[in-house]
Homo-oligomer: A and B are copies of this chain.
Amino acid sequence: MATDSASHLHTAAEPSRDAVIDLLGMLSYGQLVAFDQMSRDARLAPDLRRRALLSQLAAAELTHYQRLADELAQLGVQPEQAMRPFVVALEDFHASTQPSDWLEGLVKVVVGDGIADDFHREVANFVGEKYREVVLAVLHDNRLYDYAVREVRAAIAADPSKGDALALWARRLIGEAMGQAQRVAAERESLVRLVIDGSGSLTGVVELFKRLTHAHTERLRLLGLSS
């Protein structure tokens, strides 16, 4: 099969088995904590209709977990073993960014899951066709983002003073996320190797992070939270 997309040009070799296991493990645990977070957030809903909707979106997201667990099993790895290295960083991120109300929860979904999905979409290009498809299949559903963006915009339109506090919240989220991402990078060399090898050069890595930053800024604009 031809791999003619630009992002494949630099890929020197197949990714290491360790890198694939780390990526699938990180995604698996990400699914569990996202489910946990969204089912908590549903409790913050201002009414039963919204509570039901977010509960349903949370449940729908978790269906991806089995796919990842199956792929890990095929690699001869227990999912819990692959997830373990990421538990502390992801738990710390969520513990330090517990939404205090419905809108903070939705902003967290868009900003936090949004940048995580963007990163995974980039890395998907570095793991070969088979795992690329797996990673793309487990990204969050657009329905979720669309819903969250609509809700946040409507709330700010109704009460513009909410925008400032939520913009501050978004900055805190991204700060905490970057802190934990650095921690993971410091501990999981295989993932760092994957990004560097996949990007082809340090310039490539810089470009990748520029794209993530740009998409993040775009999301803030969409939410009505850009300054």
Q: Hey, which bits of chain A sit against chain B, CB under 8 A?
A: 28-29, 32, 35-36, 39-40, 42-43, 47-49, 51-52, 55-56, 58-60, 62-63, 65-66, 69, 78-80, 83-84, 87
Contact A69 B52 (CB under 8 A): yes
Contact B36 A48 (CB under 8 A): no
Name the 4 nearest CB pairs between A and B, nearest first: A39-B39, A48-B80, A59-B59, A59-B62
Closest chain B residue to A84, Cβ basis: B48
Cα A55 to Cα B62 in complex, Å, equals 8
Q: List 13 A-B contacts (CB under 8 A).
A: A32-B52, A32-B55, A35-B55, A36-B42, A36-B43, A39-B40, A48-B80, A48-B83, A48-B84, A48-B87, A49-B79, A49-B80, A59-B63
Q: Residue among A59, A69, A78 with the most chain B CB within 10 A?
A: A59
Chain copies in the assembled complex: 2
In the complex, how many angstroms separate the beta carbon of A66 from the nearest chain B beta carbon? 7
In the complex, how many angstroms separate the beta carbon of A227 from the nearest chain B beta carbon? 35
Contact of A35 among B49, B59, B87 (CB under 8 A): B59
In the complex, how many angstroms separate the beta carbon of A22 from the nearest chain B beta carbon? 15
